[in-house]
Chain A
Amino acid sequence: MPGVYVYKRFERFWHWSQAALVLSLMATGGEVHGLWHLLGWGRAAQIHSLLAYALLILWAFAIFWHFTTGEWRQYVPTLHRLTSVARFYAVGIFRGEHHPYHKTVGAKLNPLQRLAYLFLKLVINPLLIVSGVLYLYINEAAVRDLGLSLEVVALIHTAAAFLMAAFVIAHVYLTTTGHSVFAHIRAMITGWEDLDHPAPAGSTDTPRPPDRPAPAE
């Protein structure tokens, strides 16, 4: 079966370095929150801050990439076929049905993924970034003038971290729901994915293609 080059080099680099950073941030953040003892509190806090800077830099590049390539359109939410995708994960997947969404390079996210990643990018990540930066600079005059209490900032950061943890669990699990358990993960490593599997009858239509040219290689 011929594969399709779905995940470009930067995308894969962004994805995996982000994964490593997020997992390390959860490990060190958990220690800062007093959940476990791995590095010692001081070192955990220090490394947590350094990782946060690294993630911010990575995100700056990723945002730039998304806008210059037009890849941001992948996340434009749609209701089209949302119910059938949801029905697939709730019922069809147990019956051995094929995924009702036909992935293309131009529209590689199904409507549920679009919603989930949009929530991640518009709610969870900004909450973490904003509360995290305020947390880091809570004692600087510019932040102090906002009159925020450390407690409120810390608790918002903690709440967002729990959301991120829940997202990561669901996300990692859903990678196993491809036509083989490791198909999605392999695709995210190599960039190549087999999109040619037969679609069930009547489900070959894809969401309205985003108003964009095919992504440049």
Chain B
Amino acid sequence: MRALHRTIAAGLLVLAALVPMAAVHAAGQPASTADHSRFEALKGPFASGPEVTEACLTCHNEAAHQVMKSVHWTWDFLNERTGERLGKTRTMNSFCGSPLSNEPRCTSCHAGYGWVDKNFDFSRQDNVDCIVCHDTTGTYKKIAHGAGHPVYEPTEFPAGSGRMMTPPDLARVAQSVGATSRATCGACHFSGGGGDGVKHGDLDSSLKAPPRRVDVHMAPDGANMACSDCHTFNAHIPSGSRYTTTARDTHGKDLPHDDFNRATCESCHGDRPHAAAGHAKLDDHTDRVACQTCHIPEFARGGVATKTLWDWSTAGRRDADGKPVFIRDDHGHLSYSAEKGDFEHGENVRPHYAWFNGVMNQTTLIDRIDDSALLILNRFAGGPDDPGARIWPFKEMRGKQPYDPVNKTLVVNHVWGPPEDRTAFWNGFDYDTSIRVGMDYAGLPYSGTYGFIETRMYWPITHMVAPKENALACEECHARDGRLAGLPGFYMPGRDRAPLLDLAGFALVGLVGAGVAGHALLRFLSRLLRRRS
């Protein structure tokens, strides 16, 4: 009973905390005590992003120091569970490859300005980009290969396309700053892997203003929540990490002055959320099944396809005129790109399910790999006997990517360079050169031989939570050939049985049935005989 009271009290507190937030979103008005358009420092004009940052820092004098400690700035992460040193320049994935030697094309999503090569100065405060996260005008757009800068004069992009990018009005942007939003976070996170929805499968531009059926939390007619409502920021440090997932949150609801981390479902919903709705039995699942498993039946549900296969080994094809080949499928998605190889895409994709305890071992650039079999880039731990593990949904990404079969490492592929850089793969289409240049740039050994290795990568799915009426029905898993048919090691009613017991049981029932049938027949025949005689 006391636990119940506590739960209700906690629920009310969370509600109370959400109400003003919702009010802010609903009114579209930041409830700030400062009107930034009236600050002298923000009058402008500003010639560049760093000038805006300098102006911000005249008041927010700790902000840049805080950002500099965040992974948004460092791209450097120490996984304390595995001891692995990670980050975008180390961790390998099955998408673009490495930012090394390709910086200007990749660091447009670094929360800063000017990371054009490995000599970038991480200690300069005015390199921090405040407005990429705090813009509320929607006009602050970066150019893809600008190393974090927007354009400062009208620029044709992509080159030769005839489409012009206009420079943002930096003074207006600076005077309109406010809280982060789905749009500002999404500017980078929706486009991971180089395009809309490519990487994650549960993050794409449909989440800017999703219908309720796509995401109950982010839908404007739903909870209308911003990313940071769950991914709580504390002194500019985000919470909720894919490197160290909280696979099972035993802490439950988070109260004010608690752990400042609301990036789990349990943070708001608690760990037994179904009983109040009359579904107490569902609460018996929460210790073993991640909320996401039932509540995200499919990912990429917003009309944006996600990449499910990327095969680098076929890249480089050119037509008879020597022009790189690009092929689009019936849905308008690239199915082949001379720059990148073969692609497959998926919408409304059913996840891959696996036990996961939050411990993930990534493959880094310097790791020796086993090329005798399929390479799983992020091996993760957990099983039915691990109390910290639950069954999670994942996006399975199939890849085939270049590696060094002699040194047994993955490689840095120098894919992007200005047009005159013929060593870049996207200009010269020569793997031998682009890998050699990339590895040399990274200061890593390269044997001079390259091959392609088939890879898999597993991305935990956690966004695009469906309305509860669209959650998975029991029989999606509690069935002989249900969604969890491939997960051994535990007994699940409806899926599992002891074949010997069933055999014995049916034999018993069959024998009794046959016995009574035979008995009945004999009775009938004997009666006929007696009547005759």
Contacts and interface: CB of A to CB of B under 8 A. Distances in A.
Given A139-B287, A162-B508, A94 B526 contact: yes
B493 A32 contact: yes
Contact of B474 (A40, A95, A151, A173): A40
Given A32-B494, A94-B522, A169-B516, A41 B281 contact: no
Nearest to A39: B475
A173 B519 contact: yes
Contacts of B18: none
Interface stretch (A54-62, A120-128, A153-161): A153-161
Contacts of A163: 508
A42 B475 contact: yes
A149 B492 CA distance: 11
Nearest to A159: B501
Interface string A174-208: 00110000000000000000000000000000000
Contacts, number: 93
Contacts of B491: 149-151, 154
Interface string A96-107: 100000000000
A45 interface: yes
Nearest to A149: B491
Interface string A128-149: 0000000000110000000001
Contacts of A93: 523
Contacts of A176: 520
Nearest to A136: B281
Nearest to A140: B284
A96 B287 CA distance: 63
A87 to B, nearest CB: 14
B246 to A, nearest CB: 21
Contacts of B283: 139
Nearest to A170: B512
A173 B494 CA distance: 30
A34 interface: yes
B353 to A, nearest CB: 17
Nearest to A177: B523
A41 to B, nearest CB: 4
A166 interface: yes
Nearest to A46: B281
Contacts of B504: 159, 162
Interface residues of B, number: 36
B527 A96 contact: yes
A162 B509 contact: yes
B505 A159 contact: yes
Interface in B491-533: 491, 493-498, 501-502, 504-506, 508-509, 512-513, 515-516, 519-520, 522-523, 526-527, 530
B484 interface: no
A165 B530 CA distance: 34
B144 interface: no
A33 interface: yes
Interface in A1-59: 31-34, 37, 40-42, 45-46, 49
The main secondary structure of chain B at its interface with chain A is: helix
A45 B493 contact: yes
Given A34-B495, A169-B512, A41 B478 contact: yes
Nearest to B283: A139
Q: Which of B287, B480, B497 has the most CB atoms of chain A within a 10 A radius of its CB?
A: B497
Contact of B480 (A34, A139, A154, A155): A34
B473 interface: yes
B21 interface: no
B249 to A, nearest CB: 17
B284 A138 contact: yes
B479 interface: yes
A53 B498 CA distance: 26
Contacts of A170: 512, 515-516
Contacts of A32: 478, 493-494
Nearest to B472: A42
Contacts of A139: 283-284, 287
A166 B508 contact: yes
Contact of B501 (A95, A149, A158): A158
A183 to B, nearest CB: 14
Contacts of A46: 281
Contacts of B519: 89, 173
A40 B478 CA distance: 10
Nearest to B279: A46
Contacts of B490: 150-151
B146 to A, nearest CB: 53
Interface string A73-106: 0000000000000000100011110000000000
B7 to A, nearest CB: 16
Contacts of A42: 473-475, 478
A161 B506 CA distance: 11
Nearest to B504: A162
Interface string B114-131: 000000000000000000
A169 B501 contact: no
Interface in A57-71: none
B474 A96 contact: no
A41 B523 contact: no
B494 A166 contact: no
A138 B509 CA distance: 28
Given A34-B495, A139-B287, A151-B491, A96 B530 contact: yes
A94 B478 CA distance: 48
B475 A155 contact: no
Given A40-B475, A45-B474, A94-B526, A33 B494 contact: yes
B521 to A, nearest CB: 11
Contacts of B498: 155, 158
28 contacts: A32-B478, A33-B494, A34-B479, A34-B480, A34-B497, A37-B475, A42-B473, A45-B474, A94-B526, A96-B530, A138-B284, A139-B284, A139-B287, A150-B490, A150-B491, A151-B490, A151-B496, A155-B498, A155-B501, A158-B502, A158-B505, A159-B501, A162-B504, A162-B508, A163-B508, A169-B509, A170-B515, A173-B519
Interface of A: 31-34, 37, 40-42, 45-46, 49, 89, 93-96, 138-139, 149-151, 154-155, 158-159, 161-163, 165-166, 169-170, 173, 176-177
Nearest first, the 9 closest Cβ-Cβ pairs linking A and B are: A162-B505, A42-B474, A151-B491, A41-B475, A173-B516, A94-B526, A139-B284, A41-B478, A166-B512
